[in-house]
Amino acid sequence: MTKFRQLVIISVLVFCCNNLFAQNRDTISEPSQSPTVPYRLFRTTNIWTFIKLDTITGKMWQVQYSIDGVGGTVVLNDQDLASGKERISGRFTLYPTSNMWTFILIDQIEGNTWQVQWSQERRNRLVLPIN
């Protein structure tokens, strides 16, 4: 095999491998979370924003962090959606939708669902039952 051909093959392999590793560095793996804990943290597509869910009651908070220390927490839902029902960890969970601002909250025992919309602006935050 000629030196030029070896150089071309090595260059192609290095280029392909480099692209594969670059793609893996850009993605952040989701940490494993037990579905039966009282609180879970859900990632949004905004790098600064998460949703904290009380899996027993369905209460939710929008959690924001920042590099300058101006992060905070705002209430998305302060109503106990499990009032008068069996109170167990993991009763509620969130599912992302293709809309970056919207999640679906589900009561995994009774099947009730809610549209959850987070936002930087208070007037755009909501939790609505889906009937």
Break the chain into its structural domains and give their ranges: 39-130
pLDDT tens for residues 85-98? 999 999 999 999 99
pLDDT tens for residues 19-63? 555 444 445 566 677 878 999 999 999 999 999 999 999 999 999
CA of residue 17 relative to chain centroid, distance? 29
Question: To which H or E segment does residue 86 belong?
Answer: none
Cα–Cα distance measured from residue 24 to residue 38, given in angstroms and rounded to the nearest whole number: 31
Please report which confidence band the pLDDT of residue 18 belongs to, taking 50, 70 and 90 as the band edges: low
Q: Is the model's pTM score more than 0.85?
A: no
Cα–Cα distance measured from residue 39 to residue 36, given in angstroms and rounded to the nearest whole number: 9
Across the chain, where does the E strand assignment appear? Answer: 39-43, 49-54, 60-64, 72-77, 92-96, 102-107, 113-117, 126-130
Q: Which residue has the higher pLDDT, 34 or 7?
A: 34
pLDDT tens for residues 57-80? 999 999 999 888 878 999 999 999
Per the structure block, which two tokens stand in for 50? 């998460």
pLDDT attached to residue 14:
64
Tally: H helices and E strands in the chain: 1, 8
pLDDT attached to residue 56:
97
Of 125, 107, 129, give the one whose Cα is nearest residue 64: 125
Question: Phi and psi (nearest 5°) for 7?
Answer: -65, -40
Region 2-22: what's the mean pLDDT? 60
Please report which confidence band the pLDDT of residue 101 belongs to, taking 50, 70 and 90 as the band edges: very high
Q: In the chain, pLDDT over 90 holds for what percent of residues?
A: 67
Q: In the chain, pLDDT over 70 holds for what percent of residues?
A: 77
